[in-house]
Amino acid sequence: GGGGRSSSDALPQAASALPGSTGSGGRGVRVGRGGRGGRSGGGEAMDLAKQKELEERQCSERDEAARIKAEERTRKEAEEHVRAAAEEREKKRKNVIEVHERVTEAAHAFKTRAEQRAVNLSAATTRLDVNLKALDASIKKNEAQIKKMKMMSADKEKEILKGIREINMSKFLSECVDALVEAKIKSSDVPAMVNVVSAMHQSYVEVVKLLIPKLASVFTKMTPEAQTAESESDRKERLARRRATLRLLAELLVAGVYTDGSVLISALRDLIEQEHKAIFGDARTMLFTIVSGFVKYAGDDILDFPPQWKVDADALLGRLLARRQRMSATLTAEFTSSTYASPVDEMEVDAAEAGGQEPEGAAGENEKDEAAASAAAASAAAAAEASELAREDAEESANDDVLEALEADVAQLKSVLTPSVLTGEQRAQLRSVLISFYQATVKA
C-alpha cells in the first residue's frame, strides 16, 4: 500500500519537471516571470513616450505663455509710449499757450505804456488846449483834493483823477505835489501814482519841476548822527519808502513824465552806497531785495534786457524754425537726388540692347554696386538720426497752430518795441552800478 502512494506522488513531480510545464514548481514560476517581463518592457516604453509627450506639451505651453506675456508686455510698452507721447505733446502745447498769453499781456501793457508816454512827451503842446479857468478853483475843493492825495493809493486813483479833471489846482500846485510826495504808497500803488502824476503833468507845466527833485531828495544821505539815532522800525519804514520811490522814478521815466535818466541813476547809486554800510544785520538782505526788484521791473524798458516772455518765445520759435529748415533741406535733397535716368542714358541702353551688345558702362556695374553699398553703410547713422528727428518733428507738428499764432504776435510786438529810455552812456553807467553792487554783495 505504501509503494502505491509513493508512485502516485512521483507522477506530478515528474510532470512538473518537463519543459513548458505549467505546474506550480519553481521552474514553472520562472517561465511565468519571463512572460510578465515582456509585457512590463512594453509598458515602460509607452510610459516614456507619454512622459516625453507630456514634457513637450508642457514646454509648448510654457513657450506659449512666454509669448503671450511678451506680447502683453510689448502692448503695454506701446500703450505707455503712446500715452507718454500724448502727455508730452499736451505739455508742450500748454507751454506754448502759456507763453502766448504772456506775450499777449506784454503787448497790451506795452501799448498802454506807449500811448501814455506819447501823450506825456507831447504835453507841452496838448496842455495848451486845457481850459483851467472853466474848472472849480475853490479853496474847499482844493483842500479836499490835497487831503485825498496825502492818502494816495490804488483804491483812490479814480477819485483823485476825477478831481484833477474838475478842479483848478493852479494856486495849490505846490501843496498837491507835497501831498503826493508824502503819501505812504506801496509798490503796488505805483502804477496808480504814475497815472495821477501823468494827468497833472498834462495840465500843469510846473509839476515835473516841483515833483522830481522832491522825489530824488528821498535818497539824500543821512547824517551819521541821524543814522545812529534811527530805530529799527524807522529804518524799515524809510527803506519801504525808498523802495516805492525808486520804482516810481523808474516808471515816471518810462512814462515820459521826465526824460533825465541821470536822476534815476543817482537815486539808485545813493541808495546802494548808504544802505550797504548800514549797521543792522539784515540791511544788506533788504537792499538786495530792493535792487533785484528794480532789475526785474526796469530790465527791458531801462536796462534794455530781453524780457522773459521774449526769451521763452524765441526758444519755442527757434525749434519751429529749425523744423522748417530740416523740412526744406529734406525736400531739396529728395528733388536733387532723383534716381530717374536721363533720356540720353535710356536711348543708349535701348540701342545697345537692339544690337545685341552689352550697354556701355555695364561692365562697371559691380563697382557701382559696391560703391553704393559702401555709401549706404556710411549713411546709416545719419539716416537713423534723421528718422529720429522726423519722429520728433511729426510729434511737435501737432502744436503748429498755436506756435504759428505765437509767431505772428511776437513778430508784431517786436516790430513796435522801442529801445531803452536811457542813452547808451546812461545805460552803461546804470549797469556799472548794478554790477559793482552784486560783486560787493557776493564778496560779502
Mean pLDDT of 283-302: 85
pLDDT in the model for residue 192? 96
Least confident of 15-29, 150-164, 272-286, 348-362: 15-29
Highest average pLDDT, of 5-9, 103-107, 142-146, 383-387, comes from 142-146
pLDDT in the model for residue 277? 67
| Res 54 pLDDT > 70 | yes
pLDDT in the model for residue 392? 63
| Res 393 pLDDT > 50 | yes
Mean pLDDT of 255-266: 94
Neighbour tally for 146: CB within 10 Å:
18
**Of 295 and 329, the one with more pLDDT:** 295
CA 284 – CA 442 distance, rounded (Å): 11
pLDDT in the model for residue 236? 84
| Res 138 pLDDT > 90 | yes
CA max distance for the chain: 180
pLDDT in the model for residue 34? 45
Mean pLDDT of 3-31: 46
Mean pLDDT of 382-409: 70
pLDDT in the model for residue 142? 96
pLDDT in the model for residue 179? 96
| Res 288 pLDDT > 50 | yes
- Per-residue pLDDT tens for 152-164? 999 999 999 999 9
Residue 198 Cα distances to 95, 394, 422, 425, angstroms: 37, 52, 19, 27
pLDDT > 90 in the chain, percent:
36
